[in-house]
Structure 1
């Protein structure tokens, strides 16, 4: 079939939509103008051919059903849910049922791809259990539904999302991918946030870190398990994975060691923590190759949850997703491929609040001179230890948690 016909038909339908308000979507004409004035010139400058642009952008309309949109140009009030959503204990991320569902599949895939994983580990230095755990978290080993047209999602986010400028760059990267031919437009599926394929790479990450490890000439993170695993390993290696080190260890943290010492900027030799009474919950000593290397205290729920010594590799996991609970989930799942056991430390009942209330607390702490890492309504390590310092200043035992 002549490819000119569908292109002309799409252009005709678009012309009808723009000229007939009863037929057109609310933003279709403005969206087309945005593509013509902003995206096409930038894409051409980035090396995307006119033929690729004509083929991929013909008939494209915004998907206004996506969550979190604010309006054309990215201008408008953020959705209220951003600061009113309920803020709960990290414990909800660590239900045993989730891990029990994921561990068997990971073990099976490790056996299936044992020889390939040997080669991936040798090349990138990232343990297979870490690779499999990220794959599980991102897409359930490729079983999760990833239904969206990536290009349409990215174009919509670039046009009317909260981070419009950021997504303009990702849209152009997606056009570059389509021009290279590693994947067809039909197969280039993403989440509603534009993260693509089984490892959930944004287009810019795909261009930098996706690899063809199965040797078929294409970097296929949508249907190739081998390329998916190798791409995850390459991503972590390029972000500084320290070969031979683990992500961290669950510990007993004595009350004599303040929770306000949490954070990667408070790293010291693990042996120094041992001298202060820190012990592994397993009862075993820290490995010989770790004991004189740096680590830091990690308390995702302050004194209301399990405690850990984290290595720099924990923060490489955070480069994949900037969340303590995400990185801890990955590390814990990786451990459970060996012995499928829960944390020893308990997640204690705690006061639930809202992101808005947390943000107000952060603003108050900033007013008192604390560095909370930004008043964003999220309780990161800087906010946790700032809470603890304020508690200690007021004469209380520091818990480093809200309440």
Structure 2
């Protein structure tokens, strides 16, 4: 029996209020977990006792983090969450966020032109894309990184929703300190445990952090050049295709079903064009893109802009799995380099749903045989197109986006 299982069993009769009164006891169990589970693994990975004690000796549980399930609790507490990914996608593209990231990005493009050019030559990743990620993740290094990484990772490893994952990341964080590139006290992270200006998880720091200023260290906390090089290295090693764009805003006629969306339904861009899809503004698709594979992306279904995206869009999704994140990065990058404006199509005021509503729809669609990608409450492309296919099968005009009336019809 593992220590974690034993702890859960030993406190299984505690109620919520009682657990609140026993935080001191849980903290003691946390210390035992660090010693009996984390330390042996860290030692096997080459971490010294001195590093372990410096990093974790004074760490306590952060009870303010979300999605915590202390020993003695079971299951997940339902959360009624409102987020852009399943509420109104327009919220993700607020004018202030987009214009601010683009304006500062243009300043950074001038300031770091030599580094950006060198990284683009080495990796094939355009500087505008690197800048847009940097801006989104940390405001070009201007946004404070508030949390003690070891406190966050330790708490999530001990009693978070994904304990195995965060325990692995805790070990990776110890290895970073052992390597000497950053002191334990300087390991600041987000509430999710992401580190430095590019917001890498610790394992990604070990795998992808790069030295962009030639000082022999990959310092993603304090070095702009290292941050730029690290983002470029990450995208390159995740398969960025040199010379291809990320995607193009398009119009999609009603004769083309929104259920054709997804990275598993690609076809040459010229073929999409033959089906009636047109690039916004009447511009032609670049000649070198014509015979290359493209994929339909409709992040709000028929309620917002549509795009033909390239494999590079899905490389951006390797950085952050949200469709809207990848779209934000591509869009801000274009505004940085080309001065382009808003999307031509507007986002409808859709939404009003919470995550549990979307999850209920997903479970209903699964019962009908649809692959929604899991009933997680997040309307990714599999959920969107499943909605469209169900709408088509039931004689409705497909919109491919979760809406309140669809919840009421699906979930009975």
> Is the TM value for this pair above 0.5?
yes
DSSP 3-state at the match of 2:122? helix
Deviations 1:168-204 (A, max 9, x none): 1000001000001100112111011110010000100
Worse-matched range after superposition: 186-195 or 232-241: 186-195
Residue deviations 1:204-240 (CA, integer Å, cap 9, x gap): 0000000111111211000100000110000000100
Q: Distance in 2 between matches of 1:130 and 1:25?
A: 47
Q: Which residue matches 1:231?
A: 230
Deviation at 1:312, TM superposition (A): 0.4
Any conservation in 2 of the 1:103–1:340 contact (CA below 8 Å)? no
The answer for the alignment partner of 1:184 in structure 2 is 183
Which residue of 1 is the match for residue 43 of structure 2? 44
Give the structure 1 partner of residue 104 of structure 2.
Answer: 105
Which residue does the alignment assign to 2:64? 65
- After TM superposition, the structure 1 stretch with the greater mean CA deviation from structure 2, 259-268 or 48-57, is 48-57
Change (3 A) 1:65 1:25: farther
Contact 2:257/2:398 (CA < 8 Å) preserved in 1? yes
The two structures, once aligned, show a CA RMSD in angstroms of: 1.6
Aligned to 2:76: 78
Secondary structure, counterpart of 1:266 in structure 2: coil
CA contact (8 A) 2:301 2:399 kept: yes
**1:370 Cα shift?**
0.7
Output one character per residue of 1:275-330: Cα deviation in whole Å (capped at 9) or x when no partner. 11111102110001111100011000000000000100000000000110110111
Q: Distance in 2 between matches of 1:72 and 1:225?
A: 41
C-alpha separation in 2, matches of 1:327 and 1:376: 20
* 1:67-102 per-position Cα deviation (integer Å, ceiling 9, x unaligned): 2211149x6332422x55464111111122211112
SS at match of 2:211: coil
Contact 1:248 1:309 in 2 (8 A): yes
| Residue in structure 1 matched with residue 160 of structure 2 by the alignment | 161
Taking structure 2 as the reference length, what is the TM-score of the superposition? 0.89
Deviations 1:115-155 (A, max 9, x none): 11111001111000000000011011011110111112111
Q: Contact 2:358 / 2:377 at 8 angstroms: preserved in 1?
A: yes
SS at match of 1:126: coil
Deviation at 1:160, TM superposition (A): 1.1
* Corresponding position of 1:396: 396
Q: How does 1:3-402 map to 2 (within 5 A)?
A: 25-72=24-71, 76-81=74-79, 83-85=80-82, 87-337=86-336, 338-402=338-402
The 8 Å contact of residues 242 and 312 in structure 1, kept in 2 or not, is answered as yes
Between the aligned partners of 2:118 and 2:209, the Cα distance in structure 1 is 16
- Alpha-carbon distance in structure 1 between the residues aligned to 2:159 and 2:367: 34
CA contact (8 A) 1:197 1:222 kept: yes
Give unmatched runs, 5+ long, in structure 1.
1-21
Residue ranges of structure 2 left out of the alignment (5+ in a row)? 1-20, 404-412
**Residue 66 of structure 1: how far off its partner (Å):** 1.9
C-alpha distance in 1 between matches for 2:171 and 2:328: 32
Q: Which moved more, 1:318-327 or 1:148-157?
A: 148-157
